[in-house]
Amino acid sequence: MEEYMLPCLTKQFFHIPCPGCGSQRAILLLFQADFKGAFLMFPAIYPLIIFGLLIFINFVRPIKLYSKLVSSLAYISVITVLVNYLIKILL
């Protein structure tokens, strides 16, 4: 499965990681049941999974507090991605 992963074009051309670097490897680690490794590879993996599940559940059965939950998870995901990106860039 690793041979089918897409390369990071930002890293190839500009030699800096993009904010999403590590997400494919984190998903692969989740499939291998390495939950800690997935978090260390890409910390935003869990909020993004919950975000996606919430959107799917709302399509199946609408939720009353959907907009508040989605906006909260979106903010958490964006902040997590940005903090992770800044840490990768600065270290």
Answer whether residue 8 is part of any domain.
Answer: no
pTM of the predicted protein model? 0.82
Answer whether residue 54 is part of any domain.
Answer: yes
Answer whether residue 42 is part of any domain.
Answer: yes
Query: 20-41 as b/e, with b when 16 or more CB fall inside 10 Å?
Result: ebbbbbbbbbbeeeeeeebeeb
Cα–Cα distances (Å) from 58 to 40, 45, 54, 89, in that order, read 29, 20, 6, 36
Beta carbons within 8 Å of 76's beta carbon, 6+ residues apart: 47
Answer whether residue 3 is part of any domain.
Answer: no
Answer whether residue 7 is part of any domain.
Answer: no
Answer whether residue 57 is part of any domain.
Answer: yes
Q: How many domains does the chain have?
A: 1
Answer whether residue 41 is part of any domain.
Answer: yes
- Distance, C-alpha 86 to centroid of its chain: 15
pLDDT of 42: 94
pLDDT of 86: 93
For residue 27, give the amino acid letter.
I
pLDDT of 36: 97
pLDDT of 68: 92
Domain holding 64, by residue range, is 13-90
Written as tens digits, the pLDDT of the chain (91 aa) is 778 888 888 889 998 888 998 999 999 999 999 999 999 999 999 999 999 999 999 999 998 888 899 999 999 999 999 999 999 888 8
pLDDT of 17: 86
Answer whether residue 6 is part of any domain.
Answer: no
